[in-house]
Amino acid sequence: METLFLCPRELVKKQMTEEDIKLNYITPAINARGWRNGINITMETKITDGKINIKGNMAYREKAKKADYLLYLN
């Protein structure tokens, strides 16, 4: 049986939530490239209203899709 050894950083990453990873790794990397929050970055932005489904005489809309990051080029 093969034993896998994880470095402490990898172990911590595996215990993080998606929001923790975005806050600690992705957002700083984007900011380091010159993008600025609120000016040309929006987070958790709705990009669709959601698919419309029709069943007989009933119509309903599915959940809207969101982008984690939306970068605007001025």
pLDDT digits (tens, 9 = 90+) for 22-64: 888 899 999 999 888 878 888 888 999 989 999 999 999 999 9
- Cβ atoms of residues 38 and 31 within 8 Å: no
Instruction: Give domain status of residue 2, yes or no.
Output: no
CATH number of domain containing 40: 3.90.1570.30
| Number of compact structural domains in the chain | 1
- What is the spatial distance between Cα 26 and Cα 15, in angstroms, rounded to a whole number? 16
Cα-based angle 20, 36, 27 (whole degrees, multiple of 5): 15
What is the residue range of 61's domain?
8-71
pLDDT at 16: 84
Instruction: Give domain status of residue 44, yes or no.
Output: yes
Q: Count of CB atoms within 10 A of residue 9's CB?
A: 8
Statement: the pTM of the whole predicted model exceeds 0.85: no
